[in-house]
Amino acid sequence: MADPRFFPTSGAQRLQDLAAAAGASFTGDPERLFTGVAPLQSAGPEDVSFLDNRRYAGLLAGTRAGAVVLAPAFAAQVPEGAVALVTPQPYLGFARVARLLHPAPAPVPGVHPTAVVAADASIGVGTEIGPYAVIGSGARIGANCIIHAHATIGPAVEIGDDCRLHAQCSVSHAILGRGVVLHPGARIGQEGFGFAPTPEGGFETMPQLGRVLLGDFAEVGANSCIDRGSQGDTVIGPGTRLDNLVQIGHNVQTGRGCVVVGQAGISGSTTLEDHVTVAAQAGLTGHLRIGTQARIGAQAGVMNDVPAKTDVIGSPSMPVREFWRAMAKLKKLGAGREG
């Protein structure tokens, strides 16, 4: 069960309300109460658990969970005393149950006495400004936001309603939509990596005159960086998720619902269309276009455009089937066998 010191609960919830949140059907007492979520092997009678992977099906028979969110194929295997919450998308259903039982903390409206807020900054109704936060001149923060300790919001930055900016993150030259989350140490809007070499062997910084636009419900992981645009804007589309330690170069644009996993880097002026996935430690050179629903494998080095709905891996990257054929050939060569 989640440690209540860190993850307070909303209190006991009725089975019928949990089922509604999960989009699940069930048979049993709709008024039965549950207080938390837990894995199959440690859940108790007041906990909800889930099964979404066949490799863990063996744990189902021995679980003591009071209810289990699972697919129709496993419903008949739920032990006596447990309720099967049956849905075609168990993990999504379980996530919604967990959110109902352990909701995100609500803002505590007000400005901490140690915060520094410019006189002409606008703070929305119900917003919480934490200790030592800095809000620059002309900044506009929407309603019901939480600005955690030591966060820095630069002059003229605009932040929509219901945003969460965690400790030590910084935002400048940016406009954030509704429901944006910045995890600790995220850096938004800093100067991009742009410079011109001089005849003497030095470098002259190119002024970075664009902004960062973060779409509604985008999330940026801890210590990830999004450079502002050079002559245009860097755009992160609605619902896009960046993991920890991700680098987004100037003028990158992503579509809706993209996922970029930890330690990946996307060079300047590359475009990701809708629902692109970039796996961990992948690197994309600049000025590329990655098509809708393309998937970039872990540690891939992408140097050319990738068509829509194409999976690539390797460095230099290539379609997955070509990559594995090449690896098979290489193994044969290494073993002294050709053909």
Catalytic, 250? Answer: yes
Alpha-carbon distance of 10 to 203, in angstroms, equals 56
**Catalytic site residue from 148, 150, 250, 275:** 250
Averages of pLDDT over each 10 residues, the chain, 339 residues: 88 97 96 96 96 92 96 94 96 97 96 98 98 98 98 98 98 98 98 94 96 98 98 97 98 98 98 98 98 98 98 96 92 75
Q: Peptide bond preceding 238: is omega within 30 degrees of 0, i.e. cis?
A: no
Residue with tokens 């629903």: 293
Q: What is the pLDDT of residue 338?
A: 59
For residue 334, the model assigns a pLDDT of 82
CA gap 339, 333 in Å, rounded: 9
pLDDT value for 336? 75
The DSSP output letter for 309 is T
Q: How far apart are CA 298 and CA 276, in angstroms?
A: 13
